[in-house]
Amino acid sequence: MYQFAQCVRCGFRWEISAKRNNLYAKCESCKTRQRERIEYDGEACLAWQGDFDLDNNPMMDGVLYLPGARLCQHKDCCNVNHIVPIERKN
């Protein structure tokens, strides 16, 4: 007989084969800890805490905040040492 367990944090349900009394637990993604510090080339990435556009780029007052390519490959990084400005050709 199969039972279903449900995550107490996100509500995800999964099938369990063993009989358990406690069917409320945390799923695997909710058990993992969020990384507190992400580094690129020895410098910490600074995560953007504001609004984002549809492509997950940082926005402030409807305008891209610090536009450019990120060397660390994190779109929300706001460390100016990780950003290479994009030059526009006219």
Angstrom distance (rounded) from CA 72 to CA 63: 22
Report the alpha-carbon distance of residue 82 to residue 72 in Å, rounded: 6
What pLDDT score does 34 carry?
A: 63
The pLDDT assigned to 13 comes to 87
As a whole number of angstroms, the distance between CA 17 and CA 4 comes to 8
Radius of gyration of the chain (CA): 20
> Where would I find the H helices in 1-90?
28-31
Q: Which residues contact residue 13 at a Cβ distance below 8 angstroms, ignoring those fewer than 6 apart?
A: 4, 5, 6, 7
Residue 1 has pLDDT above 70, yes or no: no
The string of pLDDT tens digits covering residues 28-80 is 777 776 666 788 888 888 888 888 898 888 999 989 899 889 998 888 889 99
- Among 7-16, 20-29, 66-75, name the one with the lowest average pLDDT: 20-29
pLDDT of residue 20: 65
Predicted local distance difference test score (pLDDT) of residue 59? 92
For 19-23, what is the mean pLDDT? 68
Q: Cβ–Cβ contacts within 10 Å for residue 73, how many?
A: 10
What is the pTM (predicted TM-score) of this model? 0.53
